[in-house]
């Protein structure tokens, strides 16, 4: 058995647990919207056609924000197609996913769904095929109370009060050659700066996210962030980070260490943003919106869009089935996001329903939770207060992709008001349990209130509509406190949450 020690002190906090770290993403892609959140013929559908069983699970998942409507989709989207009487809305070709967009759901429906699900909207504007004026028109429609063309159009469409959306994305992945309206960093940086400046003339209180590079492996990575932020630094608040390239490809040891790569990604973006800050002598800091992240088996058949003359509505796309190891990695990626809470101020698990998602549905039928649902929901529910700086003394394992990495990874949150402590831990070993010891001596008398572990001897177990409950986080009876030290045994390939309260 491996042994690891975690040392913490409440005086050393990294930053607050930010609710926006637990965001998600709804794009007009595959079955995420149609037969995902929206399925008018479903037995649980409400008057707007939204599945109430999906809304219930969205609340249980603990989602705080939802980014919309893309994603690659937004770079060719005409937002005005999705307002007004549904019967009058046009059908359009969606070039991003080779599909037909019927526009049954648009801005107003999305905002009604956000209210029902209790989430904050995060709206993206089209800077691919459109630009400054289109962004201003959409902002006017959403945030101006009335008395102008687009604000009065919103009121005529049934929304008397403005939506007051605070968080806006200035396009999506504009360095990607696959993006409709793909741009150079100079082109995009200038456009983002001008769009941001104009949008703030309408609503100075909005928060704006500039597109970072669409992946750490892109040839543009680093240079893109530097050029874009040099152009737009004073006009934006956050820069985006996207990552999906974590998947088990026969190398389980490297896969379980995926959070090491996320750590490096975040640190690289922070370093670049801070270099621009220093060079430009700026006062504020640009922080990160990690607004697309997940495990994604990008080369599987279900991830390949239609082609030729086939332009279907809501085809099956990107419908990965996640196993136990995938859930452990997702839990570890959340640990990484929390560990960087000083600079990662928002994040979005991509996506919410059906498309590389924690929630799956059958059209007109059942809904169920994938394995990745559980670490996200438990982390969102229990992490609170401040993220503490944790010193980890752990044995290491050699990986082909990331070199030597700790077997044990963990993060700790502390709520000073209640005294509550939450330990989130992952055992990356593929074969050996790890005995974790946490020094609690600086935190007073604590007692274990709950310890849950997600693991299974078969790490490839996958939830289905027929069986989504055989493998769930279970009570870990090994968690004990002796002489101010928490001890717990973590099985191989596992994710755990341990909650403690004042004794």
Query: 348 phi and psi, to 5 degrees?
Result: -135, 115
Give, to the nearest 10 degrees, the angle between helix 132-143 and helix 185-202.
Answer: 30
- Is 29 exposed, middle or buried (CB count within 10 Å of its CB: 0-12, 13-18, 19+)? buried
**What residues of the chain score a pLDDT lower than 70?**
none
In whole angstroms, what separates CA 400 from the centre of its chain?
Answer: 27
Q: Tell me if residue 292 is catalytic.
A: yes
Q: What gap in Å lies between CA 284 and CA 46, rounded to an integer?
A: 45
Q: Which of 369, 292, 392 is nearest to 333 (CA)?
A: 292
Long-range contacts of 84-89 (CB under 8 A, 24+ apart): 84/157
Q: Which of 64, 81, 65 is nearest to 28 (CA)?
A: 81
The Cα-based distances of 331 to 371, 427, 473 in angstroms read: 10, 11, 12
CATH class (in words) of the domain with range 18-382: alpha beta
pTM of the model: 0.97
Q: What gap in Å lies between CA 485 and CA 480, rounded to an integer?
A: 8
pLDDT (0 to 100) of residue 302: 82
Strands (E), 296-366: 344-350, 359-361
Q: What gap in Å lies between CA 173 and CA 210, rounded to an integer?
A: 10
Query: Which of 27, 80, 173, 489 is the catalytic position?
Result: 173
**DSSP class of 503:** -
pLDDT (0 to 100) of residue 192: 98
pLDDT (0 to 100) of residue 103: 98
pLDDT (0 to 100) of residue 209: 98
Query: 125 phi and psi, to 5 degrees?
Result: -110, 155
Q: Which of 140, 28, 130 is nearest to 78 (CA)?
A: 130
CATH for 2-9+387-502?
A: 2.60.40.1180
- Whether residue 421 contacts residue 28, with contact meaning beta carbons closer than 8 Å, is answered with no
Q: What gap in Å lies between CA 15 and CA 389, rounded to an integer?
A: 9
Query: Which of 27, 140, 292, 489 is the catalytic position?
Result: 292
Query: Where along the chain do its domains lie?
Result: 2-9+387-502, 18-382
Query: 221 phi and psi, to 5 degrees?
Result: -60, 135
pLDDT (0 to 100) of residue 197: 98
Q: Which of 253, 318, 365 is nearest to 96 (CA)?
A: 318
Q: How many residues does the chain have?
A: 503
- Whether residue 389 contacts residue 10, with contact meaning beta carbons closer than 8 Å, is answered with no
Q: Do domains 2-9+387-502 and 18-382 have the same CATH topology?
A: no
Q: What gap in Å lies between CA 95 and CA 73, rounded to an integer?
A: 8
Q: What gap in Å lies between CA 496 and CA 331, rounded to an integer?
A: 9
- Is 40 exposed, middle or buried (CB count within 10 Å of its CB: 0-12, 13-18, 19+)? middle
3-class DSSP state of 387: strand
pLDDT (0 to 100) of residue 408: 98
In whole angstroms, what separates CA 238 from the centre of its chain?
Answer: 15
């Amino acid at each position: 058995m491996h042994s690891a020690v975690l040392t913490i002190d409440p005086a050393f906090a990294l930053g607050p647990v930010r609710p926006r770290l637990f965001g998600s993403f709804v794009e007009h892609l595959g079955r995420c919207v149609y037969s995902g959140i929206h399925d008018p013929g479903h037995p649980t559908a409400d008057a707007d056609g939204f599945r109430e069983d999906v809304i219930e699970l969205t609340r249980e998942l603990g989602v705080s924000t939802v980014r919309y409507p893309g994603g690659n989709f937004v770079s060719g989207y005409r937002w005005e197609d999705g307002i007004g009487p549904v019967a009058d809305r046009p059908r359009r070709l969606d070039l991003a996913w080779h599909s037909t967009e019927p526009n049954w759901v648009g801005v107003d429906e999305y905002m009604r769904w956000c209210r029902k699900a209790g989430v904050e909207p995060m709206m993206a504007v089209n800077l691919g095929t459109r630009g400054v004026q289109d962004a201003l028109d959409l902002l006017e429609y959403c945030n101006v109370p009335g008395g102008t063309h687009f604000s009065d159009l919103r009121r005529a469409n049934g929304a008397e009060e403005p939506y007051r959306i605070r968080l806006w994305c200035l396009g999506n992945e504009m360095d990607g050659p696959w993006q409709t309206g793909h741009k150079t960093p100079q082109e995009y940086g200038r456009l983002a700066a001008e769009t941001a400046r104009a949008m703030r003339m309408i609503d100075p209180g909005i928060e704006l996210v500039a597109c970072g590079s669409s992946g750490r492996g892109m040839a543009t990575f680093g240079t893109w962030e530097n050029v874009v932020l040099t152009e737009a630094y004073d006009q934006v608040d956050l820069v985006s980070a996207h990552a999906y390239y974590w998947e088990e490809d026969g190398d389980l040891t490297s896969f379980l260490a995926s959070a090491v790569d996320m750590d490096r990604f975040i640190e690289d973006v922070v370093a670049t943003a801070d270099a621009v800050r220093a060079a430009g002598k700026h006062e504020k800091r640009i922080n990160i919106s990690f607004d697309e992240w997940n495990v994604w088996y990008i080369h599987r058949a279900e991830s390949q869009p239609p082609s030729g003359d086939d332009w279907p509505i809501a085809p099956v796309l990107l419908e990965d089935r996640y196993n136990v190891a995938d859930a452990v990695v997702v839990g570890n990626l959340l640990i990484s996001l929390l560990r960087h809470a000083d600079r990662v101020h928002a994040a979005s698990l991509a996506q919410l329903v059906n498309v590389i998602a924690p929630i799956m549905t059958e059209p007109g039928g059942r809904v169920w939770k994938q394995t990745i649902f559980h670490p996200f929901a438990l982390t969102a529910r229990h992490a609170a207060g401040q993220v503490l700086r944790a010193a980890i003394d752990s044995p290491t394992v050699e990986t082909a992709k990331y070199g030597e990495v700790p077997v044990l990874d963990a993060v700790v949150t502390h709520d000073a008001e209640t005294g509550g402590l939450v330990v989130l831990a992952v055992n990356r070993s593929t074969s050996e349990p790890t005995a974790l010891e946490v020094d609690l001596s600086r935190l007073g008398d604590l007692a274990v209130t709950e310890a849950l572990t997600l693991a299974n001897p078969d790490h490839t177990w996958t939830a289905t509509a027929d069986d989504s409950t055989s493998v769930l986080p279970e009570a870990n009876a090994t968690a004990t406190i002796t002489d101010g030290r928490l001890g717990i045994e973590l099985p191989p390939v596992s994710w755990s949450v341990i909650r403690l309260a004042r004794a």
